[in-house]
Structure 1
């Protein structure tokens, strides 16, 4: 048996995760946003990278995680999750309960897809308005050569 064990596929590479996180923060500075926290999850919804800017409030890492984790949990970007939260509050409350409260159904949780449409992971950004957080996640994902899925049909 090979040592260490090989064959695990977690989607995003560490280099891609770093590119996403660093570029998302750069985009936030370019847009003069409030301090941001960025979390990148792999295809198993496990933490791959996290960056928290100086000045972020206490719950920003948990919120960023919840945005990414919620997207991974149902396979929809945060915009679609927000629509479903409005249309089906009972279901989304149950989903949040099943996720141990770790699902935040708002923009800023963006799925990461490869060129064939496979989900490689998700990014959560928190710190400013959700729409602006999402812009930063999208910029990071594109900088890594991957496709962002915000959950918006447009």
Structure 2
């Protein structure tokens, strides 16, 4: 089972709301269980360069079923996954990508957010994830 378009739009709406609360402009991507883009939103005046980053964060989170920030920790020099960001056509290994799970804990997709600090990117992605888990 993959995330539905309705669920993806719900996550994007929650992420946009958190972005507005923080006063930032974000690009928000949702991929399905196969890492295919399901929904995308670029808030007015969000950075153009962050479009690709948001999509890659979502895909990276789904490819490895973990938050992108966790993958980034393991990919530091001397780490067990050093240089992994060069695989799969290019990964993003800093915060802002999170796997999305259904009620049984099965991963159904991922969210990726980019457009501000990695801390804010992660906070906005978490808002999207939380919206799905509370539904």
Provide TM-score, normalisation by structure 1: 0.80
Contact 1:112 1:141 (8 Å CA) reproduced? yes
Q: Give the equivalent residue in structure 2 for 1:84.
A: 74
Give the number of the structure whose alpha-carbon radius of gyration is greater. Answer: 1
**Separation in 1, partners of 2:39, 2:45:** 19
Residues 45-89 of structure 1: CA deviation (Å, up to 9, x unaligned): 001100001112221110001111111122211121121122556
**Separation in 2, partners of 1:47, 1:57:** 19
Q: Give the equivalent residue in structure 2 for 1:134.
A: 122
| Alignment partner of 2:96 out of 105, 108, 126 | 108
**Separation in 1, partners of 2:82, 2:34:** 21
Q: Give the equivalent residue in structure 2 for 1:144.
A: 132
**Separation in 2, partners of 1:146, 1:133:** 20
Instruction: Answer yes or no: is 1:72 the counterpart of 2:62.
Output: yes
Considering only aligned residues, what root-mean-square deviation do their CA atoms show, in Å? 1.9
| Alignment partner of 2:85 out of 90, 96, 105 | 96
Gap runs ≥5 in structure 2: none
Residues 96-152 of structure 1: CA deviation (Å, up to 9, x unaligned): 333112x100110011012222111100000011111111111112112369xxxxx
Q: Give the equivalent residue in structure 2 for 1:120.
A: 108
Runs ≥4 residues deviating over 4 A: 87-90
Q: How many residues align?
A: 135
**Separation in 2, partners of 1:23, 1:72:** 20
Instruction: Answer yes or no: is 1:58 the counterpart of 2:44.
Output: no
- After TM superposition, the structure 1 stretch with the greater mean CA deviation from structure 2, 136-145 or 121-130, is 136-145
**Separation in 1, partners of 2:61, 2:69:** 9
Deviation at 1:92, TM superposition (A): 4.1
